[in-house]
Chains A and B, each alone.
Chain A
Amino acid sequence: MYNSQLTMNHYAGVTAGSVRKPSPLFREVSTIWAIFCREISVAFKSPSTLAMSFAMPVIMMGMVGGNLTQNMAGGLGFDFGLFMLIGMMINMLFMSTSQGVATLVDDHEDNFSEEMLIAPVSRYSIVIGKICGSAFSAVVTMLGTLLVGLFMGITLSVGQFLAILALSPLICLSAGAMAMLFIGIIKNRKAANMAVMLVTMPQMFLSGAIIPITNTSGILMVVSRLLPMTYSLDLTRAVIYAGTPEYGSIVMFSPLVSVMATVAITVVFLTVGTFFYAKSEKDR
Chain B
Amino acid sequence: MRVIEVNELVKQYKGAKSPSVDGVSFSVEQGEFFAFLGPNGAGKTTTISILTTTLSKTSGEVRIAGLDVDRDARKVREHIGIISQKPSLDKSLTAEENIRFHAALYGLYGYRPSFALMPKAYKEQVTQLAEIVGISDALFTPIKKQSGGMQRKLEIIRSLIHTPDVLFLDEPTQGLDAVSRRMLWDYINEVRNRYGTTVFLTTHYIDEAENVDKVCIINHGRIAFCAAPDEMKRQIAFDPTPRVCLPSLEDAYVKFLQLNEEVA
Contacts and interface: CB of A to CB of B under 8 A. Distances in A.
Contact of B121 (A16, A34, A120): A16
Interface string A1-22: 1111011111101111110001
Interface residues of A, number: 47
A115 B107 contact: no
Nearest to A28: B107
B145 interface: no
Interface residues of B, number: 55
Interface stretch (A106-114, A141-149, A251-259): A106-114
B105 interface: yes
B260 to A, nearest CB: 28
Interface string A111-147: 1111111111110000000000000000000000000
B105 A30 contact: yes
Given A38-B90, A115-B89, A13 B105 contact: no
Given A2-B186, A2-B187, A282-B56, A114 B88 contact: yes
B67 to A, nearest CB: 11
A114 B53 CA distance: 10
Interface string A41-58: 110011000000000000
B13 to A, nearest CB: 6
A46 B93 CA distance: 11
Nearest to B131: A6
B54 interface: yes
A22 B14 CA distance: 37
Contacts of A96: none
Q: Tell me if A's interface is mostly helix, strand, loop or mixed.
A: helix
Interface stretch (B34-42, B190-198, B219-227, B236-244): B190-198
B124 interface: yes
B60 to A, nearest CB: 16
A34 B102 CA distance: 9
A86 B106 CA distance: 41
A14 B124 CA distance: 10
B261 to A, nearest CB: 28
B30 interface: no
Interface stretch (B71-79, B200-208, B209-217): B71-79
Most buried by B among A1, A3, A27, A34: A34
B17 interface: no
Contacts of A117: 54
Given A14-B161, A284-B55, A33 B110 contact: yes
Nearest to B187: A2
A27 to B, nearest CB: 3
A232 interface: no
Interface in A251-284: 281-284
A26 B74 CA distance: 15
A121 B53 CA distance: 12
A122 B74 CA distance: 8
B18 interface: no
Most buried by B among A116, A118, A284: A118
B47 interface: no
A282 B55 contact: yes
Contacts of B14: 283-284
A119 B128 contact: no
A282 B131 contact: no
Given A31-B104, A46-B92, A118 B53 contact: yes
B88 A111 contact: yes
Given A4-B190, A120-B106, A45 B92 contact: yes
B82 interface: yes
A118 B52 contact: yes
A149 to B, nearest CB: 31
Interface in B101-148: 101-102, 104-108, 110-111, 113, 121, 124-125, 128-129, 131-132, 134, 142
B37 to A, nearest CB: 23
Contacts of A3: 131-132
A30 B104 contact: yes
Given A31-B105, A34-B104, A283 B77 contact: no
10 contacts: A1-B134, A27-B107, A30-B104, A30-B105, A111-B84, A112-B90, A114-B54, A117-B54, A118-B82, A119-B105
Given A37-B111, A122-B74, 15 more contacts: A2-B183, A2-B186, A7-B187, A11-B191, A18-B163, A27-B107, A30-B105, A33-B110, A34-B104, A111-B84, A115-B101, A115-B102, A116-B105, A118-B77, A284-B55
Give the top 6 A-B pairs by smallest Cβ distance, nearest first.
A22-B107, A27-B107, A34-B104, A120-B77, A34-B111, A119-B105
